[in-house]
């Protein structure tokens, strides 16, 4: 009997090498992890559907850029962690969403917020193409990893900054480290807003525990040494969860 054909198309060599060169966050990967990332990315592309909207278009290179960055956090996990979505919407630019907030006295206020991406609960992911292109440079910004972090976070049904932890991980330690770091970060972000302090991490993380987790995931893979310096306890918990130590990689 002949060998069975693979259920997914392998990533073309020339395109793979181009993606590696274009994204600094892959520069520290050892050969074993590069091979694993390539395989995960091919499987990701075979199981996810990319839908351009609003006049956007999706090239093979763009889709692979999304796949590789989405699968980087899966090097120590597997694709089952992304089981709650199959569709990725690609928008031509960041888009505006009307948000509502309830003030004191039950008064509802509406405001416009600009989104570079969005992870819908038990549903698709949306990503802005310019923000995809701006991701992976090793500067702390990565819309793909950010939205995938929300997907990991929500697998247990709660977007609370704590994904389902592995057996043997200490949930109390996770909660303690993230809670202490989040409170410290909120204070620093508030001082920075009043121009009386500085923050090394994107202040959007002060929006809530879920956003803090997603931002920390961005920095864990983009600028791991910054996160390690600012919040070593958070870095340690993420290293246990992702089963990788990117701060030790040679870039």
CATH number of the domain that 217 lies in?
3.40.390.10
User: What is d(CA 175, CA 161) in angstroms, rounded to the nearest whole number?
Assistant: 9
- Whether 64 and 44 have beta carbons less than 8 Å apart is answered as no
Number of separate domains in the chain:
1
Range of the domain at 234: 160-246
- Asked if pLDDT for residue 107 goes beyond 90, the answer is no
pLDDT in tens, 155-198: 999 999 999 999 999 999 999 999 999 999 999 998 876 554 45
92 against 98, higher pLDDT: 92
User: What is d(CA 18, CA 78) in angstroms, rounded to the nearest whole number?
Assistant: 24
Confirm whether 214 is domain-assigned. Answer: yes
Confirm whether 11 is domain-assigned. Answer: no
Confirm whether 239 is domain-assigned. Answer: yes
Confirm whether 192 is domain-assigned. Answer: yes
Burial of residue 181 (CB within 10 Å: 0-12, 13-18, 19+) is buried
User: What is d(CA 200, CA 226) in angstroms, rounded to the nearest whole number?
Assistant: 7
Res. 18 pLDDT band, cuts 50 70 90? very high
Confirm whether 215 is domain-assigned. Answer: yes
Confirm whether 25 is domain-assigned. Answer: no
User: What is d(CA 85, CA 82) in angstroms, rounded to the nearest whole number?
Assistant: 6
């Amino acid at each position: 009997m002949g060998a069975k054909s693979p259920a997914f198309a392998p990533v073309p060599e020339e395109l793979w090498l181009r993606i590696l060169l274009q994204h600094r966050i892959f520069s520290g990967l050892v050969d074993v992890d590069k091979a694993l990332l390539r395989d995960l990315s091919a499987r990701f592309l075979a199981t996810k559907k990319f839908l351009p909207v609003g006049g956007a278009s999706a090239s093979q290179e763009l889709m692979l850029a999304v796949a590789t960055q989405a699968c980087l956090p899966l090097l120590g996990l597997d694709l089952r962690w992304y089981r709650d979505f199959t569709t990725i919407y690609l928008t031509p630019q960041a888009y505006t969403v009307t948000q509502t907030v309830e003030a004191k006295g039950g008064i509802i206020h509406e405001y416009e917020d600009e989104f570079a991406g969005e992870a819908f609960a038990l549903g698709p992911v949306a990503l802005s193409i310019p923000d995809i292109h701006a991701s992976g440079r090793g500067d702390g910004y990565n819309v793909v990893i950010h939205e995938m972090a929300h997907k990991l976070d929500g697998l247990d049904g709660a977007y609370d900054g704590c994904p389902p932890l592995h057996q043997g991980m200490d949930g109390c330690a996770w909660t303690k480290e993230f809670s202490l770091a989040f409170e410290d970060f909120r204070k620093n972000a508030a001082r920075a807003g009043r121009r009386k302090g500085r923050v090394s991490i994107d202040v959007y993380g002060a929006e809530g525990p879920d956003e803090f987790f997603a931002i920390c995931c961005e920095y864990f893979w983009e600028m791991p040494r910054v996160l390690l310096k600012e919040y070593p306890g958070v870095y340690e918990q993420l290293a246990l969860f992702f089963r990788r130590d990117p701060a030790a990689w040679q870039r």
